[in-house]
Amino acid sequence: MILVTGGAGFIGANFVLDWLANNNEPVINLDKLTYAGNLNNLASLQGDARHIFVQGDIGDTALLAQLLAQHQPRAVINFAAESHVDRSIHGPEDFIQTNMVGTFRLLEAVRHYWQALPTDNKAAFRFVHVSTDEVYGSLSKEAPPFTEEHTYEPNSPYSASKAASDHLVRAWHHTYGLPVLTTNCSNNYGPYHFPEKLIPLMIVNALAGKPLPVYGDGMQVRDWLYVKDHCSAIRRVLDAGQLGETYNVGGWNEKPNIDIVNTVCALLDELRPRPDGQSYTSQITYVQDRPGHDRRYAIDARKIERELGWKPAETFDTGIRKTVAWYLENAEWVANVQTGAYRDWVNKQYATQGAT
């Protein structure tokens, strides 16, 4: 059995779904169910005995101790995090509490649990911490991509809080011997992405006839990673990663934001044309750039390929087509997220039985 934190969010939910599609090892799924945590993401697992959901906070030390003692997981995979840069600019305290204090409390609970395990179980145990390329800061146009040795230079409250959590994970390994592994990924995209991030926001706004807001000149460059490729990388790191090591996970897809928006518009023009026959690109609107906006991220993912044999299965062309198609096919999910109806669904489902 494994314990997944943040397993009702975008990447965490995809990981849980892929995990149970690939093997029968049960998952304890701990999620606080903030605005981006959505049990509708996991609706296909309803009634599946392999999936045990618990609503709770990684900062709740007593709950963590109880779950670890009761379920005796062989691994913990930590996705739990506040992750939206714009939200971190307007309200940084939640990011400090979840990403720093929450990670600290999770590490401490796991350390005490791990230290009490029998020798064989102790040796086999793993703690996988899922982080971001944003901890490395911003790259110039000509600079080589981020490697695992790149200096941390976070530029937003979000990336600073994630950098701090990475340092805590490293310290718990070097100080206490906790068997940790860290992954730093590039921008994810795919199914179940909350529509505040670039790709789902463009899809949702385009279909609603709203402006497609592009920061600054739209030439901020990101490396795009299909979420299911990210999930397979994490499984591979859990299986074969060297303790204490960091693995960068990227899609080898560096593209300016405006190219992403134009690609989404072209796919929508093909798959769901506007009634007036115009291109969705006519809805593109340039807006003032956000404070401290990093110009370029790029991941060098050669280490994980060289040492663990992992590389992405999707190109950007195949992944973005699957993503746009998913949003077109799941209009009810999108509507529930936008209206907050998914929260009503959670309350209805768990009102009588509790979040278990």
How big is the chain, counted in residues? 356
- Asked if residue 218 belongs to a domain, the reply is no
- Asked if residue 236 belongs to a domain, the reply is yes
The count of domains in the chain is 1
**pTM of the predicted model, to two decimals?**
0.92
- Asked if residue 47 belongs to a domain, the reply is yes
For this structure, is 158 an active site residue?
A: yes
Q: To the nearest whole percent, how much of the chain has pLDDT over 90?
A: 85
Q: Report d(CA 223, CA 307) in Å as an integer.
A: 21
- Asked if residue 74 belongs to a domain, the reply is yes
How is residue 100 annotated by DSSP? I
- Active-site pick, 31, 134, 223, 314: 134
- Active-site pick, 31, 57, 136, 158: 158
User: How confident is the model over 90-98, as a mean pLDDT?
Assistant: 92
- Asked if residue 291 belongs to a domain, the reply is no
pLDDT at 342 over 80: no
- Cβ neighbours, 10 Å, residue 242: 11
- Asked if residue 257 belongs to a domain, the reply is no
What CATH number has the domain bearing residue 177? Answer: 3.40.50.720
Q: Smallest Cα–Cα separation from 102: which of 47, 180, 168, 20?
A: 168
What integer pLDDT is reported at residue 294 of this predicted model?
83
For this structure, is 133 an active site residue?
A: yes
User: Which domain covers residue 243, as residue numbers?
Assistant: 2-189+225-252+298-314+339-350
Helix (H) or strand (E) holding 29: strand 27-31
Q: For residue range 221-271, what is the model confidence (pLDDT) as tens digits?
A: 999 999 999 999 999 999 999 999 999 999 999 999 999 999 999 999 999
- Active-site pick, 31, 57, 133, 294: 133
Tokens describing residue 61: 């030390």
Cβ–Cβ < 8 Å for 8, 39: yes
For this structure, is 307 an active site residue?
A: no
User: How confident is the model over 60-80, as a mean pLDDT?
Assistant: 98
